[in-house]
Amino acid sequence: MKKTPSRMWGGRFEKGPAAEAEAYSRSLHFDSRLAPYDIEVSLAHSRALRKAGILTEKELRAIRRGLREVRREVLSGKASFLTGEEDIHTWVENRLRKKIGATADKLHTGRSRNDQVAQDLRLFLLDRVDDALGLLVKLKGSLLDTAERYDGALAAGHTHLQPAQPILLAHHLLAYFEMFQRDSERLRQLRPRIAVLTLGSGALAGTSIPLDRRLVARELGLKEISSNSMDAVSDRDFAVEFIACASLVMMHLSRLSEELILWSHPSLGWVDIPEQYCTGSSLMPQKKNPDMAELARGKTGTVIGRLTGILTVLKGLPLAYNRDLQEDKGAVFDTADILLSSLEVMAPLMKGVVFKTEKLRETAEAGFSFATDLAEHLALRGLPFRRAHAAVGELVKWCIGKKVSPDSLALEDLRRFSPLFDRRSLKLISADASVRSKKLPGGTAPSRVRAALAAARERNT
């Protein structure tokens, strides 16, 4: 590195920072990602400076032209960030000075890197929220496509990871739709809390420069301006909320992944994960491993760690700005990258999964999965449910003891356990009948599931 580029501070110092202190505090190698946002923020700020009489029309034009040139360099990928500045704010200002000369020295009037970095991060996050919302629509669309593809297919529903009652496979997939739908809503609700103008807060107290904050907000497409300058520069709960939302998306992806991994075990053989989303083994030639699902599950741990991390950074900070806040960037960037890449992988994976409907049906029918239906049938005929439950429990015990398979049960067998059973009761010994009977809203009856699927298509925004 050549001679240290100019810093934003230093007048009151006899000595420059020690090399290790400079390296320790530098953030350019990660906050360079904020460059496009930092430039937008400066473009908006320049308008307020003009209105406040700090810039002449000519100076404004020079600053805006210079900033747009820097933006072009950044967006074309030609900009180098190996220039040794402390942070992205210094980098942008130095680039601008290279282009337009001393006029650049007026840009930092009435602002601090404290209100600036909070603003940059908010703009960065607004874009990532929109990216995530778009990818969630894709993932939910994949779930719906797959649910539709397996219209009418039965599966075993579980509690305690033990077969419980028959369900439709589509009903199971739609459960995930609901989770991701709530995740989308949460992100949408978070958006306005991020879209707040912090510029004009200065370092902590505001500024004596008469900046038109409403004008700056409009320039940046923000509806709200912060109400308290100290809060504006030191609050990161919008970042915590983003990471919390991301943690929930990841937690849901992780549960889905766990099921795919489990269901693809050959001993179950319920699902085939598309080859393009699996990997092989360097040693065992026969292997096909569900690595993408495992990575999504694993990265969930990393994101949850980031949530704990940022909360821990924030919990002891006195007002207002403290340099600890620089640590928010790692948490936010890492989370955004993991969230978006996980959604990008899981959306096509879920579209391509192949379910083994025969195997799934076998499991749905096995293990007395109709037992609850028989008990409810007796309850509908007037037997108190507690006694109906006991009677069907006795029937199950009798079948197991006598090695009688449910499909060979005769009416006399049923009547050993309750006189309320009749011919029609035998029809309930079927997984199809079982799902058909769950007609209440939210239930797994085919008619309900089909309607839920159609409604989900409409809701998938």
Q: How far is the CB of 212 from ligand ARG (least distance, A)?
A: 24
- Is 142 known to be catalytic? no
- Is 257 known to be catalytic? no
Q: Which one from 6, 25, 29, 281 is the annotated catalytic residue?
A: 281
Site string for ligand ARG, 270-309 (x = CB under 6 A): ----------------------------------------
Query: Is 313 among the residues that bind ligand ARG (CB under 6 A)?
Result: no
Query: Is 94 among the residues that bind ligand ARG (CB under 6 A)?
Result: no
Region binding ligand ARG by CB under 6 A among candidate stretches 93-101, 167-175, 320-328, 375-383: 320-328
CA distances to 150, 391, 442 from 364, rounded to whole Å, are: 15, 22, 19
Q: Which is nearer to ligand ARG, 299 or 306 (CB)?
A: 306
Q: How far is the CB of 201 from ligand ARG (least distance, A)?
A: 13
Q: What are 196's strand-pairing partners?
A: 224
Query: Is 122 among the residues that bind ligand ARG (CB under 6 A)?
Result: no
The string of DSSP letters for 110-139 reads T--HHHHHHHHHHHHHHHHHHHHHHHHHHH
Query: Is 325 among the residues that bind ligand ARG (CB under 6 A)?
Result: yes
Contact 140, 216 (CB under 8 A): no
Kindly calculate the radius of gyration of the chain based on its CA atoms and give it in whole angstroms: 31
Which residues have CB under 8 Å from 138's CB, separation 6+? 343, 347
Residue 272 CA to residue 264 CA, distance in Å, equals 6
Query: Is 211 among the residues that bind ligand ARG (CB under 6 A)?
Result: no
Q: Which is nearer to ligand ARG, 33 or 50 (CB)?
A: 33
Q: Which is nearer to ligand ARG, 117 or 273 (CB)?
A: 117
Contact 35, 88 (CB under 8 A): yes
Sign of CA dihedral 250, 256, 262, 265: negative
DSSP 8-state symbol, 204: T
- Structure token pair of residue 362: 């076998």
Q: Which is nearer to ligand ARG, 270 or 321 (CB)?
A: 321
Rounded (10°) CA dihedral 247, 251, 256, 261: 110
Residue 4 CA to residue 27 CA, distance in Å, equals 15
Q: Which is nearer to ligand ARG, 30 or 368 (CB)?
A: 30
Within a 10 A sphere around the Cβ of 57, how many other Cβ atoms? 8
Q: Which one from 160, 267, 405, 408 is the annotated catalytic residue?
A: 160
Residue count at the site for ligand ARG (CB under 6 A)? 10
Query: Is 33 among the residues that bind ligand ARG (CB under 6 A)?
Result: no
Query: Is 232 among the residues that bind ligand ARG (CB under 6 A)?
Result: no
Query: Is 117 among the residues that bind ligand ARG (CB under 6 A)?
Result: yes
Of 3, 323, 402, 424, which lies in the binding site for ligand ARG, with binding defined by CB under 6 A? 323
Q: Which is nearer to ligand ARG, 117 or 375 (CB)?
A: 117
For ligand ARG, the binding residues in 161-190 under the rule CB under 6 A are none
Q: How far is the CB of 320 from ligand ARG (least distance, A)?
A: 10
Q: Report the DSSP pairing between strands 271-272 and 224-225.
A: unpaired
CA distances to 52, 90, 158 from 93, rounded to whole Å, are: 20, 5, 60
Q: Which is nearer to ligand ARG, 87 or 93 (CB)?
A: 87
Query: Is 27 among the residues that bind ligand ARG (CB under 6 A)?
Result: yes
Residue 209 CA to residue 212 CA, distance in Å, equals 9
State which H helix or E strand residue 218 sits in.
helix 213-220
**Across 243-367, where does the E strand assignment appear?**
271-272, 354-355
Q: How far is the CB of 85 from ligand ARG (least distance, A)?
A: 11
Task: Please provide residue 272's backbone torsions phi and psi, each rounded to the nearest 5 degrees.
Answer: -115, 125
Query: Is 12 among the residues that bind ligand ARG (CB under 6 A)?
Result: no
Residue 413 CA to residue 373 CA, distance in Å, equals 17
Q: How far is the CB of 132 from ligand ARG (least distance, A)?
A: 22
Q: Which is nearer to ligand ARG, 310 or 325 (CB)?
A: 325
Q: Report the DSSP pairing between strands 196-197 and 224-225.
A: parallel
Of 71, 99, 113, 389, which lies in the binding site for ligand ARG, with binding defined by CB under 6 A? 113
Residues of this chain that bind ligand ARG (CB under 6 A): 27, 87, 113-114, 117, 321, 323, 325-326, 329
Instruction: Provide the annotated active-site residues.
Output: 160, 281
